[in-house]
Amino acid sequence: MDTQPDIIYLDNAATTRPLPEAVEAMRLACEACYGNPSSLHRLGLEAERLVSAARRTVADALGCSPAEIIFTSGATESDNTAILSAGRRGGIVTSMAEHPAVLEPVRLLEAAGTPVTWLRPRADGNLDPDEIVGAVTNDTRLLALTAVNNETGAVTPLEILPKLKRAYPQLHIHLDGVQGFLKLPMRVDTLAADTIALSGHKVHAPKGIGVLYRRKSCHLKPLLIGGGQEGNLRSGTEAVPLIAALGAAVRTLLPAVDAHTAHVRTLAGRLRSGCERLGLPVHSPADASPYIVGIAAPGIPSEVMLHFLEERGIYLSSGSACHRGSLSDALMAQRLPRDRITSALRVSFAHSNTMDEVDRLLEALDAGLHRIRRRR
């Protein structure tokens, strides 16, 4: 179903609308390349060519070898594969503000007896680089962090990772790169990460496709065993249409990353200025990714404001789409007042959003503040 022209969609950290190029690539793969990529006949070879082309495209975007790209069902599977394998080897360092796809496998390992050091973000939402470095010891086997926080846009100080890798060669560094990929610089030669999880539907590809970057020298145990596809790390017939769509989305977006980020930065600046004018607190750090701006309307429950905005054709969220009404781990870890957590709103941009949409959001927020508070 096409998006209605009067809809303002500002929930892109939850999911993005697939690009026309991605939809067309998926259609062609379904209709013309429907063979199993493991089959040796012509239809199988055509499907394998599509998979290989997409693998090269994603590898080029990350600056790695195609052999280091593993296709999965999504970032949750990628996170789980890396963390549940590397995290069984010894101590883990992570933060309290991670995405559930990182938090939950770490909690599972902790419950089984693996020691975990939990880092707390500062009051501004950022992690302290000195605390990260200080938490890693000779006994640490896994450092698992989210490159860009999915609720506040806080950017992890990735510049410390090469130093940590040199000091602790045994350390496995895993990054959830979902909200950073094709938005901020993410090249494996500067990240020093052993594994990186990516999601297709956060970069205008369909849902159901993800990526696990796995450094060649890094050994992981698979979650799914069977036919040995994806380098024996992710068995199961490859989802060729979804993989082709992801390749098309990355190929389309990659040349314009810098221009898109500059445009979104102006949108985020306009939103922050407008929130200051309206007296709405912003809990995203000043240096956060511009694609995510976390705000609050204290005194008005998130769902009340969300429904008010939706009635006016404006769609955003109260935070991570994975919380489904529970309080945010990230915002609680930030020690925000409870009324700010329960009234939190997350505005998340795509390159296609406009300044007019930001202005209409601010007008609607202003109207909501007056009308809802008057009712209450």
> Which of 125-129, 158-162, 228-232 shows the lowest per-residue confidence on average (mean pLDDT)?
228-232
**Rounded mean pLDDT, 52-71:** 98
pLDDT band at 205 (very low <50, low <70, confident <90, very high): very high
Q: What pLDDT is attached to residue 376?
A: 56
Which are the contacts of 298, defined by CB distance < 8 A and separation ≥ 6? Answer: 281, 337, 339, 340, 343
Cα angle for residues 50, 52, 189 (degrees, 5° grid): 135
Beta strands in the chain (DSSP E): 8-9, 69-72, 91-95, 116-119, 140-146, 172-176, 195-199, 210-214, 292-296, 314-315, 344-348
243: Cβ–Cβ under 8 A, 6 or more apart, which residues? Answer: 29, 50, 51, 54, 55, 71, 209
| Cβ(174)–Cβ(211) below 8 Å | no
What is the tens place of the pLDDT at every residue in 214-227? 999 999 999 999 99
195 token code pair = 């594994």
Is residue 373 scored above 60 in pLDDT?
yes
Active-site residue identified among 33, 218, 275, 322: 322
d(CA 274, CA 366): 10
The answer to whether the beta carbons of residues 212 and 70 sit under 8 Å apart is yes
Section 304-317 average pLDDT: 96
Tokens found for residue 367: 């109207």
Nearest to 212 by CA among 259, 229, 162: 229
- Average pLDDT taken over every residue of the chain: 94
Task: Calculate the alpha carbon distances from 15 to 200, 320, 327, 337 in Å.
Answer: 9, 11, 20, 28
Provide the whole-model pTM: 0.94
Judge whether 30 counts as a catalytic residue: no
pLDDT score of 3: 47
| The pairing of beta strand 210-214 with beta strand 195-199 | antiparallel
pLDDT in tens, 317-366: 986 544 555 788 889 989 899 999 999 999 999 999 999 999 999 999 99
Higher pLDDT among residues 146 and 330, named by residue:
146
pLDDT at 176: 98
Q: Which of 290, 275, 276 is nearest to 364 (CA)?
A: 275
The per-residue pLDDT for 325 is: 56
Closest of 260, 246, 254, 180 to residue 21, by C-alpha: 246
Q: Are 361 and 8 in contact (CB under 8 A)?
A: yes
DSSP label at residue 320: -
Number of H helices, E strands in the chain: 13, 11
**Which SS3 state, helix, strand or coil, does residue 151 take?**
coil
